[in-house]
Each structure stands twice: as C-alpha cells, then as structure tokens.
Structure 1
Amino acid sequence: MDNDHITVYSAKSKIQKIRNRRHTKAETKAYKQKPPPHEKKRTPDMGVRPGAKEDFKDIVSLILANNDAEAFMWTSKILEAIKEQAKRMLHEIYDYTKDLAYTDTRSPEYRLQGVILDISTFRLFQAVRSDQSEEKTNRPFIKVRFTNKELTYLQEHYVITPADKASNNYTFTWKKYYFDSLVNGLGLNSKPGNPTYTPTNLSASEIIDNHKSALVSFGFDTTNLDLDLPYLYCIPKMHKNPYKQRFIAGSSKCSTKSVSILLAKVLSEIKSGLQKYCSTEYSRSGINQMWILKNSKELLEHLKSTHFSRVHSIKAFDFSTLYTTIPHSKLKERLAKIISNAFSSKNGNRKYKFIVINYDKTYFVKEKSDSENKYTETDIIQMLNFLIDNIFVVFGGKVFQQIVGIPMGTNCAPLLADIFLYSYEAEFIQSLVSERKRYLASDFNFTYRYIDDVLSINNPKFADYLGSIYPSELEVKETTETNNSASYLDIMLSYDTDGHMNTSLYDKRDDFNFSITNFPFLSSNIPSSPAYGVFISQLIRYARASTKYMDFVLRARRLSDKLLSQGYVCDRLTSSLRKFYGRYWELVIHYDVPLSRMVDDILS
C-alpha cells in the first residue's frame, strides 16, 4: 500500500506531545506545585498548557461566580487565549505529522486545525453555561458550522478506521485509494483478484430470504431479527513497510450470525472435551497430541515444569492468511468427523443423543431432555455446512461469495480454524504411534499452537515435518529470531549456553513507527482509581512474563514514564507499586529485591 495515502493519528498522544513542550521556569514550577487533579473536574480539560490553563481557570472562575451579563465581557479574552493555544497546538501537530501525510489543503491535518479551534471554543462555552440558569443554558453561545464543514470534508475525502493491532489509533486513508484497494482485492477490474471471493448472480434480498428459510428450519425465530449480509472493509497494517491491509467482514447484523453463535458454543464444548481426553491420554502414554494453547499465561505455567530445565531448541512458526486459505471441502469433512466423534464412544457406538445449549451452559445428554434448545449430531453438521456454504459479503452494491476459507468476522471462526488444525495434528501423532515411532512422537510433546501461531521447544527438526502435518493449501513460515531465541504471542523466549530458559515480555508494537495509544489519560472522563489500577495490572503481567529482574524493571519504568507524561501523579503510582508488591509478592519473590529498591528503580 502506498504510504503517502495514509495518515495515522493518536489524538491523545498529539495533545500530550503539545503539552510536553518546553515551558518557562515559572510555568514548570507552578505546574509541579499543583499537579493535575485526578478526580472529576467541574470544567472539562481543554488540552492547554499549564501556564495558559491557569489563565483560563481565573477567567472561567470569574464567569461562573457571576450571573450577570457584565461577566461575559471576558469572553473576548477567553477567545484570544483559545486562539493562541490553538495556533501553538497546530504548530506542534504539523511538526509531528509533516513526514506522515500531505500538508496541503486536502490533508487531514489542514482540515483538523479549524476543528480543534472550534471544538476548544465550544467546550469552554459548555463549561461556562453549565452553571447558568435554565433559560440562559438553552441559548447556544456558539454554532459549530465551521466544525461541521470541516468534518464533512473529512468524511467526503477520507476513510477513518482503527489501525491494525493498535485499535486506539485511528488512520485517515484517502477514500479513492481505499476503495481501489478493495476493488483490486476483489478483482472487479482487469487485474486478477483474490481467489477467496467470487461474484454471485443472486441479489442480497434473495440470499437473505434463503437464509431466513434455513434459520426457521433449524428452529430459530427470525421475527425480530434485523438481517443483512456482511460488508467488506479493510484496516491498514501501519506496522508493515510498505503498508498492507487486513480484509474483514463486518458481521454485526449478519443473516448467519445466530447459527455462528450457536456453533461457537457447540464447538467450544467439543474442544473442552477433546482437551480433557488428550490430557488423560498424555498422562497415560506420555505422548501429547493436543497442541492448542489457551493463552500466553498457560504457556508460562507449562514452562515452569522440570521438562524445561535444559533447553536446546526454540522454533516459532505462523500460518500465512490461515482464515482465507482453508478449503471448504476439507473443513466440512474434518469438522463433521470431530462432531460425530463427540456424540460417540470409542467403539463408535452412539453415546449421546443431544447437545443442550442453555443460556449459560452447554452439555451433552444421553437420552432425554426437556430443553427446547437441544440438537442432534445431524442438526449440528447441517448447520455447519449451511454456514460454510453461505458466506457472502457486499461491496459496491455487488454480492460476493467466499469460496475458500472462513471470514474473520464471524463468531465461530477461531474455533473452526482451531479444531480444523487440531484434526491434522492429532492424526499425525496417532500415525507415528501406530507406526511404532513413539520416540519421534514424543519429540512433539512440547509443541504449542495458539490459532495460527506455533511454538516448538526441544524439537529442532519440527520444520521438516510441516508438510506431513498440515494440508498443502496452508502455508507455514518460520519466524524464529535467532538460533537461541524466538518471540511467541507476547513472550520472548531464549536460552543460554547452559540451556536455562529465560522469558521476557514481547510487544511487536514496540517496533511500530508511530506512537501507540493503549493506556488511559487522567484528563479523560474515567475515574482515577481504575486508571491507576492499570498500572498494577500491567505490573502483574510484566512480572509473570519476566524471568530476570532487569527485564521487569525496564518494562515497568517505560510504563511509569508514559503514565507520568499522561497526567498521573508519582505519589499515587508509588502507592500502587507498593500495593502490587504486597499483594503479589509470589510473582517477584524470585527477584530477591526489596520494595525500596524496586520503587527507586521504577519511579526514581
């Protein structure tokens, strides 16, 4: 993707950068003496610097203290102060974004400058009139026609979306380029498009009517359902060079959503049963055929085992475009077999007649059930086939059918992919055991997979067997960083010359070429206690992931510096750190570091 057509914005980070400009010594001293309040404020924070904020406070206090018209003579002074702050703010925004986007009248920065001034003015007047009589409150002080004009321009010329893997950062993409990307991806021009989608002659209304009939046959009530087909959109991958896009099917009102939600509950129960079965078999045979991982926390618990006292190999892999490359025929065949096995015993005889899906619980029953929400094996397989065969998306007034893969937007998509891959992994291990290659099968005991990310420990030849494990349609690439280290999920794993395993926190967003907005600002409207609770929750996460004290400190110090720059008070962060140390001492006891040193290392 052409980088010139996309601008990434983190509004809070821009304002914070502006606030952090150099002040006079008097301003800095005054600011330190009176830190920003963390409780609910009477007057909204308008994003101004400390020195000017005191001026605003004096003027607004005078206005709020007087109900007569004479007090509003100060309005002109307020406006002048706002204009001055807005000019300085805009100057900082241009400095920050000059390398990221246009600086002409078509660029988002140019159109936003008027919005910043107008909204700042409007917010101040809102604060002023909030303390006035009802009669005066109902009379608007300002009309935001200029703001509406600029925002309308942005709507007409740009598509505003969150950035991939940084959902609190928003991107402005030139609209023509955005739609060209979708057009090229779908093959609506002379260029070959994405083989995942193909045009259909059916209209959206015809497809929805067919879906309604199928839903009724499955026992769903469609009376009050607002059914529609998913729409295709994309979000920029700003961390790629050049920029790429991730295609997503927006399925909030999808006509197959009810079926997808039900299948998600069924498959989740089946997956849980498979994990229990494989765990029992592992303890009996010493062979692990369940590689599915719940999260990185579960991985860290596994790594505490004595099996990892000596490590000699760490390999990481991932599937390229897993969701859009799974063949439908193999997906239906594999999932149908898994579902059938879930209803049967080991000898193949029927064990369960129904699966019952209640509001808070899903379970199998052998014979009878009074529940209205009970389904047979045949019902579940029919719904699965219906869902896979009826994946449609709408774009530009045309309807496309997805003929390969599963959409990322549907509820059961992760479970479909997870169980599909499990079927091949378990089959591979079982074939090794049946061929009396138990020693080779045991080499895969320390293999972990989270959806499309695979980790193999102490099995340096894992890559040699990828073609024997997974279907040829899926592409698996190795992502190992070095010979003795690899990143997996949010963990960096490494081992030293003695084979000792070390872990630390890994965040791929650290390498992004733009600032990430991922923690609350105290100037926002959230209460202060949950905001400071973020500090404790992140310290817990860092301590769990970090084997070495210095890795923990580096992360914690980076976080504290960021929070302090976002208006947090050092004394309250210190108090939060003390709470963390006292309540979660088991996470830091192996560091053998007293609290006083930890406070100095993180907050000094």
Structure 2
Amino acid sequence: MYEASLLTATEADAVPAYRRDPLTDIAIHTFSEAQFMALFHSLVRSTFIRFGTFALVQQTCGIPMGISAAPFIANLFLAWYEYRFMTQPTTTARQKEVVRAFSLTKRYLDDLLALNNRFISRLLSVDQRYAGMHGLYPTSLQVEPQSHPHLQTQIPAGTTAMPFLDILLILRTTPSGDARITTRLYDKRVQPVFDGVRLSRFIGADSNVNEASKRNIFTGQFHRLRRVVMEVENFVFESANLIAALTQMGYSRARLIRDCARVLEATPQAYYIQRRQRQHPEYADLVGLIRQYLARRRHFDSTAVPLELTQTHHW
C-alpha cells in the first residue's frame, strides 16, 4: 500500500523521501512543493492518447483523460472556484438568498445538479455579475444545460424528469400542492443516440477473472439498485434486467435468482413499507415479481404514477 504526503520544503528536508511504516507496512513518500509541482505538470502535459497500434492523438483542451489523477485534479480545480463563490460577502438579503440557493446545488466531477435555483443561469460564469456578486466557473469552462426530450414520453403525466449520474429524478406536485421526488435507475446508454451500438456491461462468466469477483457482480449491483431506486416497481424491473443481462454473459439464471432471494432476505429493510402495502400485496414477494418480468408476464409502465405512501397503506 502507498500513501503520499505533501510537505513544505522545510518539512521535507527534515524527513526521508521514502520510509516504510513498521506497524502498518505502508510505504510513505514525501514530496517538497517543487517536487509535487513537477509531478503535477508532468501529469497535465500527458496529452497523447494511442488508439490501437497506429493512431496517436493529442488532446488539446482540458485535463488529460485517462490518467488516474484526472478526477482529483478536476475536482480540486472546480472546488476552488466554488469556494471563492460561496465565500463572497453577503451583506444584503438578495445575496444571502443567492448563497442559500447555491448551497443546494450539487456537483459530482463534471455533472452539476441545480434544484430550485433560479439564479444559476445568471451566475454560471465568473465574468457574470448579479446582486453585487461574481459568477461561479471560469469563462473557459462550457457549462450547458442538458436536454432530454425523449424522457418526457417515459414518465407520468404532469411530472418532470431530470437525470443526474445514474439516477432519474422524477418531480411532481400532488393535487394537494405538495412536492414529491422519486427516483428510478437512469442509464445514459439507452438513449436514442446509442441505438445500434453494442455495449457490454459485465465481464463474461468464462472470463479469466477470479471467481469471487464474478460472484460479487450481482450482489454489488443489487445494493446499488436498492440505494438509488425509490420506486419498488422500477427496482423489480431493473433487477430482472440485471439478471437477464448476466444470463446473456453466461451466468446461471437459477443461481442469480437464488442470490437475489438471499440478499433480499438479508436486507429486510429494503422497500419495507412498499412490501407491506394493502393495495399491492404482490410486493410482498419481490422475487416472484422478478420471475414474472423474466417470463415477460409483467411489463414496466414508466408512465404510471407511484402510489402515495401513508400509514394506512401498509399492514
């Protein structure tokens, strides 16, 4: 194992450049500021990419893609601008309102999610000014709003859909005026632009990978689904899709279904309320519903409105 430490020039002179911790057996490398900057410049200048055995392409804009440090460099770069924006003086009521709105705006690497932020378009760029405040990101950074018109035909009427990472946020207002947000799985690879493109999601059962890793594919994906999907029907549908995809890669369907039953039994808190609804007693047997999807006896209606959950809706 390795752990890198950044020290000042004075501190670096006082410790060896390399040492091994006798208790943890961790190799510790220390760098002076000059050494760190030399490594950093080397990384960001590694802009050549080889395709196959004949094409050498140079990336001319942005942080080099493919290097392991790229996500960390990008995150630090953007976080610095966000820090400068959020620490601006807020002496007026409007400035405080702006900061509150941006405190609910979240970013993961290069994906930005802004909910109920009416100031976002006025303050995206550092050269923009509003209410005596400067904008957020450098002018060289292109931040464009996403548009997904094909999603509007796949969600309940009167709702709005917004994808963020692998989640599809579905926002709606109830007849009583309350706001509701539910989530489904979102896979950008099913967009129309990828039609006809062969995409492999998982390693094959006959792949030269250790058996433990292959056995853990379903379990890991199961826990991912139960964490990000709020609609139980979508969870069942996506679990069936997962089993079908793994079956195509050579895995045993019977074993996958047994694994599904096992992990559901080990996580009784998963969709606990939904599995006890009086209106939908079939949700008490999620494995049975998954079998129905696999047999094509049940179909997912993406336009159906999720059932409102109250205390009277479960046993």
TM-score range for the pair, normalised by the shorter chain length: 0.5 to 0.7
Out of 571-580 and 515-524, give the one that drifted further. Answer: 515-524
CA positional deviation for 1:567:
4.3
Q: 1:446 aligns with which of 81, 99, 104?
A: 104
The superposition leaves residues 541-569 of structure 1 with CA deviations (integer Å, 9 ceiling, x where unpaired) of: 11111111101011012222333444444
For residues 587-602 of structure 1, the aligned pairs below 5 Å read 587-592=270-275, 597-602=285-290
Q: 1:503 aligns with which of 183, 187, 192?
A: 183
Q: 1:427 aligns with which of 69, 84, 87?
A: 84
**TM-score, normalization: structure 1?**
0.36
The alignment's C-alpha RMSD in Å is 3.5
The answer as to 2:243 corresponding to 1:560 is yes
Please name the residue that 1:548 is paired with. 231
CA positional deviation for 1:386:
5.8
The answer as to 2:125 corresponding to 1:469 is no
The superposition leaves residues 486-509 of structure 1 with CA deviations (integer Å, 9 ceiling, x where unpaired) of: 101111112221211111111111
Letter in 1 for 2:269: E
Secondary structure of the equivalent of 1:495?
strand
Letter in 2 for 1:428: F
Letter in 2 for 1:408: M
Secondary structure of the equivalent of 1:475?
coil
Q: 2:114 aligns with which of 451, 456, 472?
A: 456
CA 1:532–1:464 in 2, change beyond 3 Å: closer, same or farther? same
Q: 1:571 aligns with which of 248, 254, 260?
A: 254
The superposition leaves residues 560-603 of structure 1 with CA deviations (integer Å, 9 ceiling, x where unpaired) of: 23334444444322321121112222333243258862111002
CA 1:397–1:501 in 2, change beyond 3 Å: closer, same or farther? closer
Q: 1:374 aligns with which of 27, 30, 46?
A: 30
Do the aligned residues in 1 keep the contact of 2:168 with 2:184 (CA within 8 Å)?
A: yes
Secondary structure of the equivalent of 1:477?
coil
Letter in 2 for 1:502: T
The superposition leaves residues 148-194 of structure 1 with CA deviations (integer Å, 9 ceiling, x where unpaired) of: xxxxxxxxxxxxxxxxxxxxxxxxxxxxxxxxxxxxxxxxxxxxxxx
CA 1:590–1:528 in 2, change beyond 3 Å: closer, same or farther? farther
Alpha-carbon distance in 1 for matches of 2:239, 2:119: 37
Letter in 2 for 1:582: E
For residues 135-534 of structure 1, the aligned pairs below 5 Å read 359-362=2-5, 364=7, 367=11, 369-372=14-17, 373-385=29-41, 388=44, 390-391=45-46, 393=48, 404-433=61-90, 437-467=95-125, 468-481=135-148, 484-497=160-173, 498-511=178-191, 512-513=194-195, 514-524=197-207, 530-534=213-217
Do the aligned residues in 2 keep the contact of 1:502 with 1:548 (CA within 8 Å)?
A: yes
Alpha-carbon distance in 1 for matches of 2:250, 2:33: 57
Do the aligned residues in 2 keep the contact of 1:432 with 1:440 (CA within 8 Å)?
A: no
Alpha-carbon distance in 2 for matches of 1:393, 1:573: 42
Do the aligned residues in 2 keep the contact of 1:493 with 1:503 (CA within 8 Å)?
A: yes
CA 1:470–1:572 in 2, change beyond 3 Å: closer, same or farther? same
Alpha-carbon distance in 2 for matches of 1:397, 1:435: 60
For residues 30-179 of structure 1, the aligned pairs below 5 Å read none
Q: By percentage of residues, which structure has more helix?
A: 1
CA 1:517–1:398 in 2, change beyond 3 Å: closer, same or farther? closer
Alpha-carbon distance in 2 for matches of 1:381, 1:361: 14
CA positional deviation for 1:538:
1.6
Alpha-carbon distance in 1 for matches of 2:78, 2:105: 13
The superposition leaves residues 409-428 of structure 1 with CA deviations (integer Å, 9 ceiling, x where unpaired) of: 33322222222222222212
Out of 460-469 and 360-369, give the one that drifted further. Answer: 360-369
What percentage of residue pairs aligned between the two structures are identical? 26
CA positional deviation for 1:369:
4.1
Alpha-carbon distance in 1 for matches of 2:106, 2:78: 12
Structure 1 residue runs without a partner (length 5+): 1-357
CA positional deviation for 1:444:
0.6
Please name the residue that 2:305 is paired with. none
Secondary structure of the equivalent of 2:162?
strand
Do the aligned residues in 2 keep the contact of 1:492 with 1:504 (CA within 8 Å)?
A: yes
Alpha-carbon distance in 2 for matches of 1:546, 1:505: 6
Alpha-carbon distance in 1 for matches of 2:78, 2:203: 38
Secondary structure of the equivalent of 2:285?
helix
CA 1:478–1:405 in 2, change beyond 3 Å: closer, same or farther? same
Do the aligned residues in 1 keep the contact of 2:275 with 2:284 (CA within 8 Å)?
A: no
Please name the residue that 2:297 is paired with. none
CA 1:362–1:476 in 2, change beyond 3 Å: closer, same or farther? same
Structure 2 residue runs without a partner (length 5+): 18-28, 126-134, 153-158, 277-281, 293-315
Please name the residue that 2:311 is paired with. none
Do the aligned residues in 2 keep the contact of 1:502 with 1:547 (CA within 8 Å)?
A: yes
Alpha-carbon distance in 1 for matches of 2:139, 2:49: 30
Alpha-carbon distance in 2 for matches of 1:532, 1:525: 13
